[in-house]
Structure 1
């Protein structure tokens, strides 16, 4: 893409109201948005025509996301999205648009049409975990809006790979064993980095690509492990990063012992709590401990470089 193309893309985004400027929502704006949304919901309840196909009030405009959860697959991205969208100043897509990897040729109008309607004081979000490992994604997002805030949910790359394999196995029970896919030569300890489940966990290599287009200050890293043990703490840091008042707190969560995962307490309008789907918290495939140790040895140097780059030790080693 030439510089002229990049400028044209940004101009097009501005012309259709996709670029976003100005400060993050303040506490007063949070109160205003919450009150406005309550009014909108009441109106929608009285008038079904006031809703769109997703049951969302037709207030506000469809805008380019201010923040995107760009990764990683099987890191906890769905949990982060569901937890943060409890905030009254956040509106998020429920599905993954895959605009910056698979559907870029469909254009801005298509991408914009997928977004929920938001007020000027609200943040629009989407999540597509595959963006983090897509070479073209950071450049495309930067060309569209250099102000976009990025969220990356990471977890121990070994357990992430096993979780990834477990999910695939549930859909394709005839695939080779984890060990056969993970190694070119297990006796020599040669890991097959061409296998996507392994490659995703080499976080530092992917991050180097993103840092060519975004400063580290615009990327927030969420610990997938702490998201389970301390969801309120992780959500507090996410809200700070997004410039939001800390509204989602520990009072919103309880730990589901059956799933081994935190769930949202039931909202006043519902008789049931909100837990993630049955695939979340599914039992992992049992992997030989020697294989796990070999993968830990493989990932260790990548992990240490990642810790150094982001300035935080996730203690996976």
Structure 2
């Protein structure tokens, strides 16, 4: 068979049969290529579907095993929880650090207690896998009134204490300040209970509202709820606390008078007479407020936590708290 090349001058001509056979051959090749491509695509699709099915099955099996073996309760001592190490100091050549294992807590508290009325009695509970597993076992968590209260003081370190204590697996705490005993007491204990997180048998329910400590009516109201309530008070150097309080307020009120103009009776501090009726100073006169609480509760039911030690030695201070509220020791120092 002779095929002429472009540019060559010759008189060769294609035979009709030759052209037809060439076209048939090209069509056959195209059909085979399309078939092979289709077959290859089907194989890839099948392998992809099989791989994804196996992956999903393995994930589901792993989740079921995790829920059955470790989903009932989370313990701080388990190796699966992330670790936070806070370096502290060296004593006698030994390096100390605070070791905290973070236990996931899904309760975030009520965003705005004032926006909820007494008729809202939602029975929603924690939607985490742990509690879904418990409901299947007939161990549905319930809401209850708090066993312990962080009652003060403002700018003393109450938020730090709450965040530390919430790391404990046996503690469930409302995430926001409920202000039940000083603002919403007329709504009743049923309203208060529905602002508490769902808890299991044996878990400690807590709430933090710093203004409780300085509000006159609160001690008697807490006693009416439960005379055995444990009370935690975070105290701090009164001067440092007052300055911190003033700084927070003045940052929201431009043009506010200087601290010394408000803290002293003559506005200069020259006479040394402190105005104890001014809010930031008044809160720091701890003895005045403590006297009202001691009329309703014995001193043994109150724990005074040092706001300064929560900063410089948090592990030691949290050890005191855990012992006092009868919690297992879960936050400590590793040498």
Question: TM over 0.5, yes or no?
Answer: yes
Structure 1 portions without partners, runs of 5+: 1-33, 45-49, 252-317
Alignment match, 1:37: 73
Instruction: Report the secondary structure of 2:156's partner residue.
Output: coil
Describe the shift of the 1:165–1:118 C-alpha distance in structure 2 as closer, same or farther (beyond 3 A).
Answer: same
Structure 1 residues 130-279: aligned runs within 5 Å: 130-185=211-266, 186-250=269-333
CA drift at 1:35 = 6.2
Structure 2 portions without partners, runs of 5+: 1-69, 76-102, 107-123, 133-139
Alignment match, 2:198: 117
CA–CA separation in structure 1 for the residues paired with 2:287 and 2:72 = 42
Q: Deviations over 1:128-158 (max 9, x none)?
A: 0010001111110001100100000001000
CA–CA separation in structure 2 for the residues paired with 1:56 and 1:127 = 25
CA drift at 1:54 = 9.6
Contact 2:125–2:141 (CA under 8 A) maintained in structure 1: no
Question: In angstroms, what is the RMSD of aligned CA positions?
Answer: 2.4
CA–CA separation in structure 2 for the residues paired with 1:238 and 1:209 = 23
Query: Which of 158, 161, 166 is residue 77 of structure 1 equivalent to?
Result: 158
Moved more, 78-87 or 104-113: 104-113
Alignment match, 1:259: none
Contact 1:84–1:248 (CA under 8 A) maintained in structure 2: no
Are 1:127 and 2:163 an aligned pair? Answer: no
Q: Deviations over 1:242-275 (max 9, x none)?
A: 0011112236xxxxxxxxxxxxxxxxxxxxxxxx
TM, length-normalised to structure 1: 0.62
Describe the shift of the 1:92–1:55 C-alpha distance in structure 2 as closer, same or farther (beyond 3 A).
Answer: farther
CA–CA separation in structure 2 for the residues paired with 1:54 and 1:135 = 39
CA–CA separation in structure 2 for the residues paired with 1:172 and 1:54 = 42
- Aligned pair count reads 211
TM, length-normalised to structure 2: 0.59
Instruction: Report the secondary structure of 1:152's partner residue.
Output: strand
Structure 1 segments, 4+ long, off by >6 Å, are 53-56
CA drift at 1:175 = 1.5
Moved more, 184-193 or 85-94: 184-193
Instruction: Report the secondary structure of 2:251's partner residue.
Output: helix
Larger Rg: 2
Moved more, 166-175 or 126-135: 166-175
Describe the shift of the 1:212–1:145 C-alpha distance in structure 2 as closer, same or farther (beyond 3 A).
Answer: same
Q: Deviations over 1:34-57 (max 9, x none)?
A: 863349x99x9xxxxx86489994
Instruction: Report the secondary structure of 2:297's partner residue.
Output: coil
